[in-house]
Chain A
Amino acid sequence: MFFKNYQLTFMTTTFLGTLMAVSSNSWILCWIGLEINLMSFIPLILSDLNFKSTETAIKYFLTQAVASVILITAASFTALQMKNYYLESMNFFLFLALSIKAGLAPFHIWFPQVTEFISWFKCFIIFTWQKIAPFMLIINFNISVFTYFIIIMSATAGAVGGLNQMSSKILLTYSSISHSAWMLMLASLSLKFWTFYFLIYFFVLSPIIFAMNFLNFKKIKEINSSKINLKTKLMLSTLIMSLGGLPPFLGFLSKLIALTVAVKTFPMVIMITLVASSLVSLYFYTKMFFNSLTASLPEKKISSSEKKINKFIIFSLAGNLILSNLVLLI
């Protein structure tokens, strides 16, 4: 109904590739899982059938393939020394390859160029599912100066890159890069903290992308337009504020817990950079809906299509508000 047969096939293999990569205890099997994931995602990009899908697929393939080459080469060199391919053997180049795979700065240039021309659903997969394997493998690494460097660069690039962006997809891409900095910080500490942050990010992002897809929003100014009802605008605005980490929403909770657990381990510079980048990110999130709350535009009646998405958004909004307060009470 929503997906064609070949899309379902490739989505299944994409998911299987990630599961294979996170389930293995050898770098060879991790690499195979990541390759299956990559090769399965390329046809999904090409299935969009627009002129730019070929260029997008080439860019995605080249970046991920280079990262895979670095990964398998580094794993092989490490195996020569350690006499095995087990995941305990860590290497700077392995971390580098996984950073490229996850789209962390300064290896993030391909990310907005790819997400600009793919559908919203594929964007959602790239923002969430495609990050699982690299981050779960990064969990094995110790904290190092390179980790600090990547966190600072990703936070800065995510914040600065999202400024003056017209396209909502590119804006959410830079937001994803910014969130990846937080995820990297938590992944360096523990699997539990990273999983917690990732699930909240997934939960907060999914209604936004669902709404953007349904309402066919390509530009950030379209939220302010008179094409949608004020109630839908308010709900979307609230969800975006949650993504930006504004209290009392769920997005704030994830950042609060991240700061609480990381402040003992990470230097203050990292904390300050992350909080400052969150502030800057909040500025461009606010730009998306500011005019809709302040300008007086003719109000449109809620259409039947809007009613369908409004139910989903209300459910997510309730979760954003209730869950965060529940966890705080506990």
Chain B
Amino acid sequence: MDTESTYSGYSYYSGRSRGSHKPGERSRHKSRSKDGSRSEKSVTINAPPAEPLLGDSSVRGEEVQDDNWGETTTAVTGTSEHSLSQDDIVRITKDMEDSVGLDCRRYAALTVSAVLGLLVLLTPIAFLVLPHVLWRPQDCDTACQGLLISLAFKLLILLLAVWALFLRPQRARLPRVFVFRALLMLLMLLVVVSYWLFYAVRIIQSQDKNYHGIVQYAVSLVDALLFIQYLAIVLLELRHLQATFSVRVTRSTDGETRHYSLGQLSIQRAALAVLENYYRDFAVHNPALLMAAKSRAAKHLAGLKVYNVDGPANNTTPSQSRAMIAAAARRRDTSHNELYYEEMDQERRVRKRKARLVVAVEEAFTHIKRMQEEEQKKTPGEVMDPREAAQAIFPSMARALQKYLRTTRQQHCHTMESIQQHLAFCITNNMTPKAFLESYLSPGPTLQYAREHWLARHWTLVSEDSVTSGLKDGSVFLLKCIDFSLVVTTRRIPFIKLSEEFIDPKSHKFVLRLQSETSV
């Protein structure tokens, strides 16, 4: 589908803030990187992600530095502010499609598990009840009754085990079927079917009168199923707990790298584990921080142009491009100088703003005091709940905070509403100003931010090996989302040879080594 890639958290914006379409937004830059070759045809007018902190001036200011500003098309194809834009339509259809597909697969797996569970539960009971219905076997003596009691308890345990292992709500959708679980369910089905066959042939046809034997048969079935459950626990749960591989996860845009330990998993399950850790550990992806590098790259390319004077056009021989690279290397490039001073200035600016911010916040917090119970009865006038208290002290720190966020290019991550909420939360829980500022001074993990920033709930797993094959030493796969991709490489944890050495405690002896000087 042409506009498939626009399905993401981004598309929520245009639905929400329909009344504030403004041309020339920073998000055009994002849509251009998404669509690539489709940029001429498809038009996505995305409104700004959320209400920025104080007006749009911050957003516009950054636009000027964007080198690709003049190259995006802004033709409006007959959508007014009050009609559904094309993006909305896409989103709705994608939602429907996705929800149907998602539910289908999820419910299919669930129904299969439920059916198997019912079968497993009812089979032993059927084995016991059918003789009484079809013919009258002997009565149950003491040993037989003991077996019936044990059967009941084992059945209960089996039911709980099936529910715990197979009937769990799915927390992610994986591209392929989970092989081990499917195999185990198949095995259970096989066991049950073979027991039924045997029962039908030997017991029903021959109308065996020995009820004790029938009860033993049912108990043996339940035992076999319990052992399969044990196998399931080992294969599904325990095998991937022991760390066998160390994976290195790198984000492609800014190079942030982490290392994790994983057990023996298939590639798709390893990808799932990596993503769960990604949301918890990696700092939130901030595209605003990458614009400096892009503008530098553009300047490098813009410096040198090669013209083909004679010969046919578009004939870039390898020697020509090599000559271009050599010429670029020899050219006296002073961009490293600019980078150095720019970074120094930026650091100084950030530190200055941070100092002002810290002072402003500390001062603001001194205006608020938690009121005790006795005082509450005395002065009922000025009492405020946390939200009002936050709104009261917010203006005194708002300016410093906005300036700081703008300097560190985080202003699109925090809205005024979220800041006030956070402030009310900190006041309620008796946090110090430093605790309040912690979430703004350093970029936190993605889960900390508002829902719009959980941008990539839809990830694509790119792998050369099949995704159900296990991890191997040196396997590489990619987890792509719209803005960036995570490159994952695995390394096997080496075989460790540990040997022991015994040290006799009496062997700790020391000598004094002097060099004295005597004057004579």
Q: Do A and B bind each other?
A: no
Interface residues of A (CB under 8 A from B): none
